[in-house]
Amino acid sequence: MTDLARAGVADTVRLIASGEHTARQVTEQALRRIADRDDELNAFSVLLAEEALAEASARDAAQSAGAPLGPLHGVPIAIKEELDVEGVVTTFGGEGNSTPAAADGEVVRRLREAGAVIVGKTAMPEFGAFPFTESDAFGITRNPWDPTRTPGGSSGGTAVAVAAGMVPAGMGGDGGGSIRIPSASCGLFGLKPQRGRVTTAPHPHLWWALGTAGPLTRSVLDSALVYDAIRGNVEGDLYTAGGDESFVDAVGREPGRLRIGWTTKAVTLGVKPDPVHVEAVQETARLLDTLGHDVREVDPHYPDPTAAFVPQFFAGIRTEADLVEHYDRLERRTRETYRLGSWVTPKVIEWALKQTEKISRKANRVFDDVDVLLTPTLAHRPPEVGRLDGVGTVRAALRAMPSIAYVALWNVAGNPAASVPCGVAADGLPVAVQLVGRTDDEATLFSLSAQLEQARPWPLTAS
């Protein structure tokens, strides 16, 4: 019988559709794996066991009645704390809210419509402010490859749930690397889509121009399956993306001969990449060359994204903090961040969004000469847990720099960017590289990532 801890989205759908397993059996096994591992790892903030079993039984009943099966039929999926799930408090990783959400957010609604089973919500740092999944409300979330190390963040709970084999896929969000950072730290595939590709409803935006929601998965195809189920906009979204090619179709086709530029130069001045990550980029460049691509080292001439990123970071925190019911229950560091961002007035936000457009144009000049940019995802190896213990906003931001040095620019620019696993280093932790694509060109990243996955398979779980 298939090991469901290693079965991804596509395999799970196939197993249920063929009758080898029922949706309820799959969900029961997922809940058992969560019970076995989550006390140690602390991935889940809320477990919806009874609700998930009822939902899975409803999927089985529909299948028995001959109803068409959705593309995610019976797949257990975890949801990051910042996304609304009906009947569950949306905590944003803290204790500022106490009233359950009246309805699913649009992304969660689409997941259910596609047949997914929602098993719970996952831990994040409060408001996703820093790339370490640690909070006063939910404690420290630990990397399944080495529980003394951080899984990154802010979608760290989701990353751990998927990497530890608790669920085949989970939803995260990325406002400064928060899908790619934990994916790199935990050995997953995580693609930040083009700005506006996925609706942020019921909110008009996620951290203004910076944020988007998306899945973390163990394979490229699984990510494409989830994205094809959730992509698209609703009235009121601040941003929309162009292009409509199926990402699943993109995974299934050869990428063709691409011009691929590689660099280990960090966007953030003064940040030097770990030699493990330099070697990963260089080794990937050599592999891509053998696969027939035109590969060359480039200088991207990165623009400085600070003028656009910092005001939107503060504005995002302040906007979400203004929405919670109990401001006084927020963490001390969050309230400090709120005060430090008091200078970000509506006029400053408007100015920052104009800077975003300028920085995006400058960042995208690299694509005049290449089709894809290859870089490290992270500058450092996943550090020990406790990175946020006793530190304020400024020290936390300084500790975050090696995590965001390669990724945050592409939130400002809006381009799609993916963290692609490269295997496991001598320290026993995963290694990853980042692929950045042209505006609206997730399809090329999916196709190229699938080619890399086939040429250089990576471990499916941390256990």
**DSSP character string of 216-277:** EESSHHHHHHHHHHH-B--TT-S--------HHHHHTS---S-EEEE----SSTT----HHH
Q: Which residues are catalytic?
A: 80, 154, 178
Q: What gap in Å lies between CA 8 and CA 17, rounded to an integer?
A: 14
Q: What gap in Å lies between CA 274 and CA 206, rounded to an integer?
A: 31
- Is-cis flag, bond preceding 202, omega within 30? yes
User: Whats the size of the chain, residue-wise?
Assistant: 463
Rounded to 5°, the CA angle 158-88-213 comes to: 40
CB contact set of 408 (below 8 Å; sequence gap of 6+): 176, 177, 267, 305, 309
Question: Do 166 and 393 meet the contact criterion of CB atoms below 8 Å apart?
Answer: no
Enter the tokens of residue 297.
């080292």
Query: What is residue 166's DSSP assignment?
Result: S
Q: What gap in Å lies between CA 82 and CA 332, rounded to an integer?
A: 19
Q: How far is CA 114 from the centre of its chain?
A: 20
Cα 419 to Cα 198, 289, 377, 458: the distances in Å are: 18, 19, 6, 13
